[in-house]
Amino acid sequence: MSNIVDPLVGRIANRVHAERERRGWTLAQLAEASGVSRAMINRIERGESSPTAVVLGKLSAAFQLSIASLLALAEDGDGTAGPGTDGAAGASRRTGTAEWQDPATGYRRRQITGPDFPAEVAEIRLPAGARVPYPAAAFAFVRQVVWVLDGRLTFHDGERCHDLGPGDSIELGEPAERVFANTTGAECRYAVILARGARP
């Protein structure tokens, strides 16, 4: 496990709390909007529990943010996590970029672009046998492309299933329940590219 995951848990806690407060929601209201229990949200906001990718998907949908946006906002919580945060061009080193790991599946996500770049690009590493489902609402506010870099990705897009290999990509259409699955014995690495939109 990366030694920079734990600080991100605190940043995610702060971001979830800030997004809830920004909307004037109580814990109970966010629980009702997201389908995540009030007790779990409370533990996440207190930094006592690292949310899974599925829980983050539900929370981001309630906030009308993409999962990538929610995590990118958390990663930029101290102003140093992403490249180009001062508006200037710059190099981002692999070892200096925050990485989030799903405690349930081992799924790992690294933000490539900084908060001022007009698109969000993230690198995902999906372990062998991992399966990460997301609700349709998590895809309602973004245009997104998934591009497989290494390994194979079984991508369920509503009722359709796509077997994607290295170099394959898929541009997502209307929101639908989606599942990212790795049914092979080797890690799958893919990129997620999102067009930034106005934040609600």
| pLDDT tens column, 152-198 | 999 999 999 999 999 999 999 888 999 999 999 999 999 999 886 54
pLDDT, tens only, 44-71: 999 888 889 889 989 988 998 877 777 7
Of 148 and 4, which is predicted with more confidence?
148
Question: And the tokens for 58?
Answer: 């539900």
pLDDT, tens only, 85-117: 444 455 555 544 568 899 999 999 998 887 778
The Cα 82–Cα 85 span in angstroms is 6
Structural domains in the chain, CATH included, are 5-195 (2.60.120.10)
Taking the CB of residue 87, how many other CB atoms lie within 10 A of it? Answer: 9
The Cα 26–Cα 52 span in angstroms is 21
Helix (H, G, I), strand (E, B) or coil at 115: coil
With a cut of 80, say whether residue 30 has pLDDT above it: yes
Contact 112, 194 (CB under 8 A): no
Pairing between strand 153-157 and 160-164? antiparallel
Across the beta sheet with 188-195, the strand order is 99-101, 108-111, 119-126, 188-195, 143-150, 169-171
